[in-house]
Amino acid sequence: MADGAHMPRRKLQRPVPAKSGRSASHIAAAKETLAGLNGDMNDGQAKSGQEPELNLADCAYRALEEMICTLELPPGTRVSESSLVKRLGIGRTPVREALQRLSRDGLVVVLRRHGVLVSEIDVRTQLRIIEVRRVLESLMARLAAERAAEDEIAQFAKVAAAIYAAVDANDDLAFVRLDTQLNELLARACGNRFASGAMNLMIPLARRFWYRNYKSAGDMMLGARLHAEIADAIARRNPDEAEEAVRRLLDYIDDFSRKTLDR
């Protein structure tokens, strides 16, 4: 397992302002993630000649979720569905489906005839999420260590190494994307759709809260190392260590979240 003590101790820079063309990078990243996680499904659709509409909706969801979580679309921002269609270069139907999912996640509020409002960030919601994650994420990590297929085990090892590399490269956006991949992989590898479904409702809100506050109240290198330790323990098929790694991560996140109350 990589040793966080040998990583350069430097802080990440603040997120750069949104620029034209940046939305395309979100779409490209979403497609790359989907290609890795759902390659078999995509191949099946290509062979059957079907249009992968569901995958386009997934791409739109992941791109918009990333834009919201990295504050490219800050809390309180109001946007129209048509502007998002143009910005992402994806059709209206998948964008509409993505917005419905984001609404269920609590990241946006869909206003009838008045566009879409990005929801505000609430520390008390974050603390309630942590309460549930302590139980649910520990279970998922343990199950993944026990049930993951061999190709998934290899992916957990790659994600752990890539997280350390992202920190070393001072790349906070890469870490956000790797965290998304880790969550997707954990949801799949645990083999329990009820647990993963519940977790999917909480992770986007938790990720945005972290990105909003980690520069003033958190330690990005510590948080990254704790995420990587979960992936590493699962890759070694050690359920006890995986569960303990989740406990350490949630202790850190709880402490980090409570510090924001004093700001």
For 57-75, what is the mean pLDDT? 93
Q: What percentage of residues in the chain have a pLDDT greater than 70?
A: 79
Q: Note the pLDDT of residue 210.
A: 86
pLDDT, averaged across the chain: 82
Tokens 């956000």 correspond to 176
Q: Which of 51-55, 62-66, 102-106, 231-235 has the lowest mean pLDDT?
A: 51-55
Claim to verify: residue 249 and residue 177 sit in the same structural domain: yes
For 233-262, what is the mean pLDDT? 94
- Number of other CB atoms surrounding residue 218 within 10 Å: 19
Claim to verify: residue 92 and residue 126 sit in the same structural domain: no
Q: How far is CA 9 from the centre of its chain?
A: 24
* Angle, helices 203-217/220-235, rounded to nearest 10 degrees: 140
Claim to verify: residue 86 and residue 202 sit in the same structural domain: no
- Higher-confidence position of 29 and 42: 29
Claim to verify: residue 102 and residue 157 sit in the same structural domain: no
In this prediction, residue 260 has a pLDDT band, given cuts at 50, 70 and 90, of: confident
Task: Give the structural domain span for 194.
Answer: 122-262
Claim to verify: residue 131 and residue 98 sit in the same structural domain: no
Q: What percentage of residues in the chain have a pLDDT greater than 90?
A: 59
For 55-60, what is the mean pLDDT? 91
Predicted TM-score (pTM) above 0.85: no
Number of domains in the chain: 2
Q: Note the pLDDT of residue 114.
A: 82
Claim to verify: residue 140 and residue 113 sit in the same structural domain: no
CATH of the domain at 45: 1.10.10.10
| Farthest-apart Cα atoms in the chain, separation | 56
Claim to verify: residue 142 and residue 106 sit in the same structural domain: no
Q: What is the pLDDT of residues 213-242, one digit of tens each?
A: 887 777 778 888 899 999 999 999 999 999
- Please identify, among 118, 137, 170, the residue that sits at the C-terminal boundary of a domain: 118
55, pLDDT greater than 80: yes
91, pLDDT greater than 80: yes
Angle at 77 between CA 72 and CA 83, to 5 degrees: 80
- Please identify, among 118, 142, 175, the residue that sits at the C-terminal boundary of a domain: 118
Q: What is the pLDDT of residues 128-177, one digit of tens each?
A: 999 999 999 999 999 999 999 999 999 999 999 999 898 888 788 888 88
CATH of the domain at 214: 1.20.120.530
Asked whether residue 220 is assigned to any structural domain, the reply reads yes
